[in-house]
Structure 1
Amino acid sequence: MGNRLETAAGRSPERHAEMVYTGADLLTDTLVRLGADRVFNITGLGMLGLGRSLLNRRNEISYVSHLNETNLTMMAQGYARQTGKPTFCIVYHASGTALAMMSVTTAWADNIPMVLLSTTGARTTSGRDQYAATPRSLTEMSTQFTKWNYDITTPERIPEILARAWEIASTPPMGPVHISIPSDLFDIELSGPVPREDFARLRSFDSPSADPTGLAEAEKLLRNAERPVLLCGSEVGRLRATDQMLALAEALGAPVLSEQDPSFLGFPTGHAQYVGTPAANAALLAEADVALAIGYEFTEKGMPGEAPMLRETTKLVTLSADPMLLSKQLWPDLALHGHPGPSLRSLTELFSDTPLPKADRDRNLATCTGPRDARSAAIADADALPGNQSPVPQKKLIREVYRQCGDDWIVIQAGSTLGWHLEAMYDFDDPLNFHAVSGKGSAQGWGAPTAMGMQMGAPDRRVLALLGDGNLMFSATCLWGAVQYDLPVVFVVNNNQGWVCVPDAIDAVYDMNTADPEREAMAWTWGGAPIDFTGFARSLGLEAERVATADDFAACLEKARTSRKPWLIEVIGE
């Protein structure tokens, strides 16, 4: 039989002509050689050979498992979101792939480089409705949401396909890739040199700037504008172009707006030129004559009476690394295709060579004053709310998190009603400390497992997840993993006893006032169900407390903040 692939930690084995190894060994070795430092997997029947291989190499590539594939893959995309590197997640047949699909859709929506590998039935029984059967290709399940799909058919092609998946997922615009592997490949034995091992020689560089002629036209439009605005999309933060965005904004003095529902922030929200979201700045946008949108999603909600974000007379310039984003929702006057980092740097240099006249820059800065003053006043009102009030006002909760965690912590926003306040109540001087699901995605249950994956990706930082009670109920079993992997995440659960965002939105859109009995009848509230998040968290090994006032929350958060253990704080909130 020869020697199976078993090596000491920290090095890949030297290949010998007589060495015998399996398809599973080849897969594991490829991940190690690609530089993947973690693999996410739940081992099931048909994957035992893979489990053996990952066990043997666990000192070279960390192994992360969980109780179900939804939580597992949410953790994986959280890890990829934080590190910016592709994450490999290996799931079980059709059922595991179906459970992973919510993670695939969010990875698509937020451009996260995740590689999903689905084990499928053995080739010898394919098409016979065998155990854990798939009628056709398993990758058909994800085709709409992935950059590339492929069904591996021979073990020799495993290195080539996984290396290609790594590159495709991580090249802007980043996104998920889905690969299927027949289960019998894991135990097929091979010998001799590894096929297509030459992928390890690749050094990839990819950050092309937009065309200079187009950048010059954009510079002219912005220079001649009387009411310019800068629309900073999630792509700016995701592709780490925040410094370049800041330099351009300060050269122009123009107000900066985020997306309405950003997945990343690309501009510090405490900056004097940051004015907030489109919903809070409708009047400013109505007066804009030129708008530069950088990696910006003009995501429509599809609600009755929804109006375009910009008026038709506004000159729109779009810049993105994603060609699909240049003219998708609003038709631009000028479209620039390029990575935001070098493109914004080149655009800013045009203003450095010939600075904007001081009078024009001062005029642009003046348009930021009103929105900034309103923001400051709203924060002051929140800070002035009494600390003994119950239920705890959401604005007060967020302000307390900011007071204690400030810009040191990574904050995940996964509460529907909390999300209405976080961007306005929290100054992210480092915008990369903010994370949420974009307006393109919809993923209840996303927050807690994603926070855990991000904590894995930032072991020297601390992560806090702001969760709605409904959001956590989708994925509450994930809390087990926080203890299993010793992740010091702080989960703050706003328990307002239901899907309050739903009836509140209905009331707002249709000018109604739904009463509590009506909300309970529609299952928009939990009714009399004594849901005990604190008790559940404690049963899984977390530290946990329930608080009913902001003062109590402050004291509890201080304990959680100074601890290095996973914590859950259940807040009786609005």
Structure 2
Amino acid sequence: MPEDMSESDWKAEVVQGPLDETLSWGSDVPAAMLRQLGIPYIALTPGASYRGFHDSLVNHLGNERPEMLLCLHEEHAVAIAHGYAKVTGVAMAVALHSNVGLMHGTMAIFNAFADRAPMLILGATGPMDATERRPWIDWLHTTQDQGAMIRPFIKWDDQPGSAAATPEAMMRGWKIANSAPYGPVYINLDAGDQESPLESPLALPDPARFAPLPEARPDGALIAKAAQALLNAKAPVILFGRGARTTAAMEARVALAERLGAAMLSDLKAGTMVPSDHPNHAGAPFNKLQATARAVLEKADVILSLAAVDLGGVLKQAYGDESPTATIIHASLDQQLHSGWNQEHFALAPVDIELNCSGDAAVADLLAALPTGTAKRPDLPPTAVPDKAVGTALTNRDIATALKSCVGDSPLTFAGLSRGFPVDIMPHRHPLDFIGKDGGGGVGSGPGLTIGAALALKGSGRIVVGSLGDGDTLMSTNALWTAAKYRIPALFLISNNRSYFNDELHQESVAKRRGRNPANAWVGQQLDNPAPDIAGIARSHGVEAIGPIETHEQLNTAMAEAVAAVRAGRPFLLDILIDPRQGREKEVKRNTKGG
């Protein structure tokens, strides 16, 4: 904490004077509805298009239930709500200023949609009544169909035509966002309606009568067919995709695998669905299939996909262009959201038994349909031993080792895992140990997701860690200010290879395929000369930071200080210079001049 800031300065702003508790202005209605829905926080970047709504949050509600979380960019506001939803499974609120704020937030909204994360987004537009518009600016900020900008990657949107119509719109949006398959919804508030007095008293609806839908159950005949196929299988495999992050849901998944003697495969994109070091787990959780996972799939006779993120892609990695001979059972609700605007439906997978339900619903009904028995273990191929690092440069294995040494048995939640972060050193055993990737592959999401997860877990005893790359972090460093302002304890571990290194690998691949020089892969990729001072940027936003860290001794000392700060309730960042190839032999020599 900077020396010129007192403890009280870092707490949420306290509203002064008496509140106007009367529901009397149009903007009081959406504010009161947020409280009615039990939403604790609303992340926002201020804007004049919802100045009435902002006043209602402050002078009608007192900045409580919900409390405003001020952000320096709309993209971070959405990312924070995304991280919160990944932990809680419930929508948080976001406010976006007019069309321009919505444009800023679009990438993060796409991430949340692709990740099937619920979210209630309140937008705003200038007065639709042209006679009420201020010259110039209100015209720029008024859009005829603002929701059209994001309609392909949200579940639903509305622009209520009056304050009286707003409660129904918000209640419907809340219900839709929090019903499976989950996703963000967008409700656009007219600035003219916000700033007009209510013409008559308005009663708010009871949320209990408009609750999100319970999970749909799969067809009983199909469950019986799937259960029989699994019982007859000699080498069943279960692919775990998205599911609830609860202990009960994880225990049910494990029980199903043990009852069947099935090999378990975890996808990093979905996060921790089953323990990564369970005896039935084949290899490490994957982003792309590794040798152990491929070997297991190649000999499988029945494959059960429980909401796998990209079933067609997984099968192609295992079988190439050959059609799999295994019986494929697939449980998913994803097809309900496929519009064709984006190809996030992925490759069309061959499926023999399709269960139109969530993965967790399929698990529950399959357990009920299968006979009980002792736990069975599959015959798994050995897991490859990680290559021993070459050289003295730090790697992600060094970072994981130092972190493990400092946290001991304290529970961790990884809100992000940088490329190549080792799971074997710190296995994922609890459903909150890793909350999965960002959904849409939008670089820059990591800081916001980490802050949102830490907000949801504040006071839980879990240490929230964002293992992030330097490129991801640099796109969103000003998100750190929100963590500092609201004292949201999170540990940001930046694996800094001073490059958009994933793209260096792409450039190497292209050059080799074309018979050109792969040694030029670094051109236009490296973040060096000058190297951004990530730790300095963090400190400028009020977050304690150390870096750049270059040696094992520096890493161990800094990690101890950082973990102690987070335990004390403060965010902390470590900027750690790493070998981009993680200690493996370098096929291509990178430029090192001046770096």
TM bracket, shorter-chain basis: 0.7 to 0.9
CA contact (8 A) 2:243 2:358 kept: no
- Counting only pairs closer than 5 Å after superposition, residues 247-262 of structure 1 correspond to structure 2 as 247-259=255-267, 261-262=268-269
Structure 1 residues 535 and 527, CA gap change in structure 2 (3 angstroms): closer
CA distance 1:526–1:156, change in 2 (3 Å): same
Alignment match, 1:443: 442
Is the contact between residue 230 and residue 291 of structure 1 (CA under 8 Å) also seen in structure 2? yes
CA distance in 2, matches of 1:501, 1:137: 38
Deviations 1:356-408 (A, max 9, x none): 8x9xx45xx22x2x24x43xx33xx66xx69xx64212233233334444661
Give the match's secondary structure for 1:46. helix
- Change in CA separation of 1:404 and 1:218 when aligned onto 2, cut-off 3 Å: farther
Match among 358, 361, 364 for residue 345 of structure 1: 364
Spell out, residue by residue over 1:422-445, the C-alpha distance to the aligned partner (whole angstroms, 9 max, x if none). Answer: 44553011132202325x511111
- The residue number in structure 1 matching 2:340 is none
Secondary structure in 1 aligned to 2:468?
strand
Residue 190 of structure 1 aligns with which residue? 198
Q: CA deviation at 1:551?
A: 3.6
For the 8 Å contact 2:458–2:489, the answer to whether it is kept is: no
Residue 279 (structure 1) aligned to one of 290, 295, 303: 290
Equivalent pair of 1:90/1:118 in contact (CA under 8 Å):
yes
- Which range moved further: 42-51 or 309-318? 309-318
Partner residue in 2 for 1:52:
55
Q: CA deviation at 1:414?
A: 5.0
Residue type matched to 1:532 in 2? D
Q: Deviations over 1:324-365 (max 9, x none)?
A: 499963020001122433431231233334x48x9xx45xx2
Cα distance, 1:262–1:25 mapped onto 2, change above 3 Å = same
Q: Which stretch shifts more, 405-414 or 493-502?
A: 405-414
User: Does residue 296 of the first structure (1) align with residue 275 of the second (2)?
Assistant: no
Corresponding residue number in structure 2 for 1:97: 102
Identity %: 23
How far apart, in 1, do the equivalents of 2:333 and 2:168 lie?
26
- TM-score of the two chains, using structure 1 as the length reference: 0.86
What residue in structure 1 maps to residue 81 of structure 2? 76
Between the aligned partners of 1:322 and 1:520, the Cα distance in structure 2 is 38
After TM superposition, the structure 1 stretch with the greater mean CA deviation from structure 2, 140-149 or 558-567, is 558-567
The residue number in structure 2 matching 1:462 is 463
1:216 pairs with one of 210, 220, 224: 224
| In 2: Cα distance, 1:239 partner to 1:502 partner | 38
Please state if 1:157 is matched with 2:165: yes
Q: Please tell me whether residue 485 in structure 1 is matched to residue 486 in structure 2.
A: yes
**Higher helix content, 1 or 2:** 1
Amino acid at match of 2:117: I
Letter aligned with residue 340 of structure 1: G
Kept after mapping to 1: 8 A contact 2:272/2:432: yes
Cα distance in 1 for residues equivalent to 2:321 and 2:491? 36
Q: Shift of residue 548 of structure 1?
A: 0.9
Query: Normalised by the size of structure 2, how large is the TM-score?
Result: 0.83
* Residue identity opposite 1:350 in structure 2: A
Which range moved further: 506-515 or 325-334? 506-515
Deviations 1:160-208 (A, max 9, x none): 1011101100001100111111111111111543155344544455023
Per the alignment, residue 429 of structure 1 pairs with: 429
Per mean C-alpha deviation after superposition, the further-off stretch among 444-453 and 304-313 is 304-313
Structure 1 residue 106, shift from structure 2 partner: 0.8
Q: Is the 8 A contact 2:43 2:78 kept in 1?
A: yes
Match of 2:8 in 1: none
- What is the CA–CA distance in structure 2 between the aligned matches of 1:397 and 1:145, rounded to whole Å? 36
Structure 1 residue 136, shift from structure 2 partner: 3.0
Tell me the residue number matched to 1:16.
Answer: none
Q: 1:84 to 1:240 in 2, by over 3 A?
A: farther
2:558 is equivalent to residue 569 of structure 1: no
AA matched with 1:525: Q
Matched residue, 1:496: 497
Task: Pick closer, same or farther for the CA change 1:315–1:517 going to 2, 3 Å.
Answer: closer
Q: 1:125 aligns with which of 110, 122, 130?
A: 130
Q: Which amino acid aligns with 1:274?
A: H
1:3 counterpart residue number: none
Structure 2 CA distance for partners of 1:20 and 1:295, relative to 1, 3 Å: closer
Q: Report the 3-state secondary structure (helix = DSSP H, G, I; strand = E; otherwise coil) of the residue aligned with 1:55.
A: helix
Partners of 1:236 and 1:295 within 8 A in 2: no
* Two-structure CA RMSD over aligned residues (Å): 3.1
2:500 match: secondary structure: coil
Decide whether the 8 Å contact of 1:448 with 1:479 is kept in 2.
yes
- The whole-number CA distance in structure 2 between the counterparts of 1:510 and 1:532 is 31
Q: 2:324 aligns with which of 312, 318, 329?
A: 312
Equivalent position of 2:7 in the other structure: none
After TM superposition, list the pairs within 5 Å mapping 1:131-150 onto structure 2: 131-150=139-158
Q: Could you tell me which amino acid in structure 2 is paired with residue 100 of structure 1?
A: G
Shift of 1:44: 1.5
The answer (yes or no) to whether the contact 1:89–1:116 under 8 Å persists in 2 is yes
Contact 1:147 1:176 (8 Å CA) reproduced = yes
Identify which range, 460-469 or 19-28, moves more after superposition: 19-28
Judging changes above 3 Å, is the alpha-carbon distance between structure 1 residues 93 and 309 closer, same or farther for their aligned structure 2 residues? Answer: farther
Q: 3-state SS of the aligned residue for 1:432?
A: coil
Query: Residue 572 of structure 1: CA displacement?
Result: 0.9
How much does 1:500 deviate? 1.0
Helix, strand or coil at the partner of 1:433? coil
Task: Count matched residues.
Answer: 538
Q: What is residue 183 of structure 2 aligned with on the other side?
A: 175
CA distance in 1, matches of 2:440, 2:30: 31
Is the partner of 1:347 in helix, strand or coil?
Answer: helix
Paired position in structure 1 for 2:271: 264
The verdict on how the C-alpha distance between 1:286 and 1:134 changes in structure 2, with shifts beyond 3 A counting, is farther
Q: Structure 2: where are the runs of 5+ without partners?
A: 1-15, 338-344, 580-595
The one-letter code of the counterpart of 2:395 is P
Q: Distance in 1 between matches of 2:538 and 2:507?
A: 32
Asked whether the equivalents of residues 437 and 443 of structure 1 are also in contact (C-alpha less than 8 Å), the reply is no
Counterpart of 2:305, as a letter, is A
Q: Is the CA contact 2:394–2:552 (under 8 Å) kept in the aligned structure 1?
A: yes
Matches of 1:33 and 1:324, distance apart in 2: 29
- Residue number in structure 1 paired with 2:25: 22
Of 222, 242, 251, the match for 1:243: 251
* 1:451, distance to aligned residue in structure 2 (A): 0.7
Instruction: Give 5+ residue unaligned stretches, structure 1.
Output: 1-5, 14-18
Matching residue of 2:353: 334
1:232 aligns with 2:232: no
Partner of 1:37: 40
Shift of the 20–321 alpha-carbon distance from structure 1 to 2, 3 Å rule, reads closer
SS in 1 for 2:394: coil
